[in-house]
Structure 1
């Protein structure tokens, strides 16, 4: 699992098959003769192509490639054409991320790098800052803020499409209270079970949730943490949940396979509880794994695609992605497409891809509509601005395999419905 996979001169069968499945064979072929070397800009992408989060990684590469294919087909930018260079960071371990970043930074033709997420701690931001490499990412915003906020000027290179994750920790409580106040659910108690996974993303969110629920007068009946990785059996934890049935059950493990298994085992003997699963239901794979069993599940997203007729850009991009690749995009396909659009806009403004300082400043000054909302960056944290006028927190409920946006009201595509396992 931790073996290094040389990329330029030889590849393992595993990585080759992954790239073939992504339609990126061209990444390993000689450049087309029509591309003059001095007019070719390489773009480096870090992605967990072959790790536990391979669904996100492969989707990320597809999104970036779609943007590059479009701009190349339109003639490029000021004569520049673009080529994606894929760096597989596998499961995002420090060693795999470091070696992959070092290799990509060693290619002088790479002028921009991006990722959905490489590591979950984002330590690679320091490597990008040291190399003065323009870099964008779309995850673990709490870790990004902790690194950048003490010294934003040091990290002029680096910008996050993800907004602050603070609302992940606060707004599930608000949603539960709102649904109760509106009479859409009748909770028998103010009890909550919170289950998480031992990784930076899940732990940060679940710990914030615990504080918010406690402050709002809720009692935490189950507080469990599982090791990060594959979990086949949630039944011992679910047995604890059933001993004192809570009004809300939360699982912050973000891996789709784990979340799907949790849902199936919860439904073996469901409690009369609202079931909230963090992030995983947004991945198309989740509904494939669960089918109609996912009906009623609630989840939220920060920086997620606003799938609403009020923003036709979102529907257009989702349709283009599916037409191009034959599969739906979750969060990261569109996010990486948008990261590339931010870079392209900066390059159009600056004109010279090697002027990294000017490119970075242009990225930081971004003011543009995206499929996730209106994008501007907070200069103090380099995160996307988070509010209902920029990147809102959105809540979804799955019903018959479809994701219905239930909040905020101005983007909602439907109303919350009582899950089939809950009593009126």
Structure 2
């Protein structure tokens, strides 16, 4: 046991002894108190729009539980560590500050470091932790020894579908006569970060295996990118059937689309993740009409999953705006913790809380949440968490795939006509 975790345990033992002396167990719950829930979020920096979503979703769940009277006398308080630009130093600083608070008994994030190195900090501190992004990095850390990482569980399933399913989606559109592929050329642009690169490399492999030619293969430095014109000039020199940009920052993705629309090619445009953020449509306006994106863990707002509409309506009512992916995800993560705490009873029994989280099997906004014990990732598939494709039209997002959950059909992108 580390010095931090030993110190934490000693403080909790002394606290428990003091409470037992002063209060009768028959009169009060043994550990009734304000339980702090730690959130790692980029509240400042280029991903601040996502950070705000994290905070709103988590706070909504906590407010609901507190208004309902808490759990066994415990109420809850959200404490946030700003990871800023997600650099290792800023993430480490935020993690250490939250772990240093003896009243923090659960931690979470949408994404913090992107490489997820903080999982090792959580394991060392014996801190229950849930996250909702960069699942390949989570898998790489946990899969070699899952029993050493009972702390940590991913709301997001394997990214394998991100690597493969765009190719399959495009080829199905062609097979169904909805688009025409001239010569199976694709342009793939990425950002130099773990999320975007992992997906773009997987896409390149899948497209190549399916007989496609990659005409543009570009990567930009991670951070703010305002000028994409030199890359777009290469796209226009050898017009591809498909243009893909996996930069997940909404500002960057919006700049890319707006500059593409200055002289659009008759190419299907797919943008990774960023169009799911409400800010994206604000930055692109009418240019966003037709854009395709996909999500692993996106809300399934269909008659077959009323949970998604329930959560979305709560978010709109509370904040006066639509939730992106992470507002809903963090709301659900907090509720997974609450379910575990109701089962265990004692917020300081971190080991039991970890086990209870791992036993989760419930319907959430993204589908059926059940964890793979070998990787601690959410299970992926149409019967669990499916990969979903969306299209924006006049500012509205329509779920177009898989057919099981679709609320509308693909429309040809305006610049392709």
Whether TM-score is above 0.5 comes out as yes
Q: 2:131 aligns with which of 137, 142, 147?
A: 137
Matched, 1:358 2:344: no
- Cα deviation code 1:247-300 (max 9, x no counterpart): 000000001011111111111111111000000000000011111210111000
Shift of 1:38: 4.6
Aligned to 1:26: none
Q: 1:373 aligns with which of 359, 367, 370?
A: 367
Aligned to 2:317: 323
Aligned to 2:268: 274
Check the 8 A contact 2:86/2:112 in 1, yes or no: yes
Check the 8 A contact 2:32/2:72 in 1, yes or no: no
Q: Which runs of 5+ in 1 are unaligned?
A: 1-35
Q: 1:382 aligns with which of 368, 372, 376?
A: 376
Matches of 2:32 and 2:98, distance apart in 1 = 18
Matches of 2:46 and 2:368, distance apart in 1 = 31
- Cα deviation code 1:163-192 (max 9, x no counterpart): 000100100000011000000001111000
After TM superposition, the score normalised by the length of structure 1 is 0.90
Aligned to 1:174: 168
Matches of 1:162 and 1:306, distance apart in 2 = 14
SS at match of 2:189: strand
Matched, 1:409 2:403: yes
Matches of 1:105 and 1:89, distance apart in 2 = 14
Matches of 1:100 and 1:285, distance apart in 2 = 26
Aligned to 1:235: 229
SS at match of 1:249: strand
Q: 2:245 aligns with which of 235, 251, 257?
A: 251
After TM superposition, the score normalised by the length of structure 2 is 0.92
Moved more, 304-313 or 81-90: 304-313
User: Could you list the runs of 4 or more consecutive aligned residues of structure 1 that deviate by over 3 angstroms after TM superposition?
Assistant: none
Aligned to 2:281: 287
Aligned to 1:44: 38
Aligned to 1:81: 75
- Cα deviation code 1:221-253 (max 9, x no counterpart): 000001111111111101100111000000000
Question: Number of aligned pairs?
Answer: 389
- Cα deviation code 1:277-332 (max 9, x no counterpart): 00000000001111121011100000111122322211121111111112211000
Matches of 1:408 and 1:198, distance apart in 2 = 30
- Cα deviation code 1:340-362 (max 9, x no counterpart): 01000000111111111110000
SS at match of 1:397: strand
Q: 1:210 aligns with which of 188, 204, 224?
A: 204
Shift of 1:100: 1.1
Aligned to 2:56: 62
Matches of 1:193 and 1:85, distance apart in 2 = 42
Matches of 1:157 and 1:187, distance apart in 2 = 47
